[in-house]
Structure 1
């Protein structure tokens, strides 16, 4: 079980640490991020969160588990040297997340994917709406234009309908992309015009 004190101890033991990768069981995801963003020298941040405590299933407040706009804002405003961001957890993101990531032009690799919360009871009452991802096509294209160094992008893109025309437009605006993975959560009955 990695907690915030453990992460603080890591940075005391290794003060020149620039790459941090944590695979953790925690019910306090936001607090883990709060500790990580205190270390401005980080260039690579990777966090995988399993939302369980040992083998017993518990009911969680969803607000403590979410990768949301606030988490992205904390990371992007405080870790200016970051070139690689890799987060995997439960997503509640909007166009605002992409706009915040656009402010860091150093990104070479961005992976933000939804892991859901399988086999766990979640308290949805602590947030206004159930988690969702609301990235519009225009904001995704604008995001691509602003990242001249970006070579790898994996995003859970929510409401966007992934089609050839969109992908072509995206690649034209971000010619350095070598790896592109866009995961869509569209319902199967949505119509593509």
Structure 2
């Protein structure tokens, strides 16, 4: 069986133009981990490592079943509790995040649980593995756009998205969602590509 590449199989999910667009997504399954704090701190890095460790454990299990797949891009949802400001307007230690890696449709919750247990047994020092769980997102109608450049300049792209929403009578109806198309460890900040996405609904 040919290895499944989710980025190729779901091009509308893993690509976006440099101008805002409306898209539709049904329910999608992921492995995920939830946390809080500055993404530049060690806790975020440990959470990311734990998430990837479980994702690769799922992959190893399915490779034995002749259902191999490429581990997908890292994604994240971001929010701030009890504050009207956006995440980029408050100290980073107040940020909440849910990191996500999309799973193929044939991966079950039980298989993710077993993969997590196998990963935890191999990497006992990485205690955050126990915090990795299955998650489902059903964002429905979304506005998305490709942001090119460092994360610090995202407000410029978000401003374009907000104008598009206003012009199309849409309002935000869900969490700020990012897909990290580029690996920041390998790509210079000016060339980073990040899909920015918001679930929306018509303004009543």
Whether the TM-score (by the shorter chain) exceeds 0.5 is no
TM-score grouping bracket, smaller chain normalisation: under 0.3
**Could you state the TM-score of these two structures normalised by the residue count of structure 2?**
0.24
Q: Which has the higher contact order (CA 8 A, sep 6+)?
A: 2
**Could you state the TM-score of these two structures normalised by the residue count of structure 1?**
0.25
Q: Which has the higher helix share?
A: 2
